[in-house]
Amino acid sequence: MINEHHSTPSCVDVGVNMTAAVLARTTRRAKILLLGNILPIEDNPVRMAEQIAMADLISGGRVLSGFVRGVGIETWWSNSNPIHNRERFEECHDLILKCWTEPGPFRWEGQHYHFRHVNPWCLPLQRPHPPIWIPGTASPETALWAGRRGYTYVPFLVPFEIARELFEFYRQGAAEAGRTVTDDNLGFLICAVTADTKEKALEAGRHFVWRMGPTLRGPVDFFAPVGMRSRAGAQFALKARPRSLSTMSYEELLDGHFIVAGTPDEVVDRFARVRRELGVGHLLLEAQESRMDHPTTMRSIELMGAKVIPAMAGV
């Protein structure tokens, strides 16, 4: 999985499609999950549709195309109006989907986007289009919207009970559209690292605290500019984060499953619990952070591949 942020040392992947293109040529079998392109700050959805399509072609149809609204930081960075965030997200999504699924040329005259000639000569290999994934942290509207469309929905770093509530909104949206929800529709994101000993893993896991604390420090308006969230979204956000992650100790972050750090056997147990608690079919692992060094990172990847993934196959 790859993502994109701007104007921050917490993430210097500043172009998710660029990274996808690199991975498309340097990997052979893995799915490439973009989670994702920040739609509301995009001024040219047609070019975005072309770039994702190109990554899908180069990868041989391995792209999972996630779309996000972004955090407030990206709204400031792009000088876009936070009040239009959701409208632009939905219109940008609609135009990208039309680029991928309807023959050109056509004209697009929307509320936020205007194009006289839409006729992309680069279309995704996957038909009708790459699978679409949507992340969530606190917005009931996003969960409902994703459920209505049958997209894979992935809460990020929230307590289990909040994830279950967001999944209920998702199921409500799916029911409205007559869709059946399977575990393939649901994912969850946590931080995770494994090592040969519990002591080494717990030491490595401390690197995730930087991501939970210092990188989220700042004025509230940086992360949630006035008007970006609806009233319902703002109310749910308060409920979802009664305590910010930055106020939690390392031990509390471990207890809450925001961070998993242990031997392969311990990690398998924790992942299995996530599966039991939430019934998700996809577990996204933020698996390197802060100053976690290369040998520690590579050993964790090695153990995940050799021991954790085979054990999880039956879970």
Partner 1 sequence: MKLYYFSEMPHHEYPDEEGLKYPSLRLEFPNRFFDREKPTRSASTAS
Near partner 1 by CB under 8 A, which window of 51-59, 73-81, 116-124, 159-167? Answer: 73-81
Phi-psi region of 172 (alpha: psi -120 to 50; beta: other; left: phi over 0): alpha
CB of 58 to partner 1, least distance (A): 17
Written as six digits, the tokens of 252 are: 């509390």
**Interacting positions 214-233 with partner 1 (CB under 8 A):** 214-215, 217-219, 222
The answer for 177, left when phi > 0, alpha when psi is -120 to 50, beta otherwise, is alpha
Minimum Å distance from CB 138 to partner 1? 18
Among 118, 174, 284, 303, binds partner 1 (CB under 8 A): 284
282 in Cβ contact with 152 (< 8 Å): yes
Contact indicator for 287, 308 with CB cutoff of 8 Å: no
Q: Does 28 bind partner 1 (CB under 8 A)?
A: no
Min CB(286)–partner 1 separation in Å: 5
How is residue 72 annotated by DSSP? H
| Tokens at 262, concatenated | 């242990």
| Residue from 210, 230, 277, 299 binding partner 1 (CB under 8 A) | 210
Dist CA 223 CA 221 (whole Å)? 5
- Of 62, 69, 65, whose CA–CA distance to 136 is shortest? 69
CB of 299 to partner 1, least distance (A): 14
Residue with smaller CB distance to partner 1, 159 or 213: 213
Q: Please work out the total of residues on this chain that contact partner 1, with binding judged by CB under 8 A.
A: 46
Residues 175-204 binding partner 1 (CB under 8 A) are: 183, 189
Q: Given phi > 0 = left and psi -120 to 50 = alpha, else beta, which region is 150?
A: left
Write out the residues near partner 1 by the rule CB under 8 A. 1-3, 5, 7-13, 31, 33, 73, 76-77, 183, 189, 210-211, 214-215, 217-219, 222, 271, 275, 280-291, 301, 304, 308-309, 312, 315
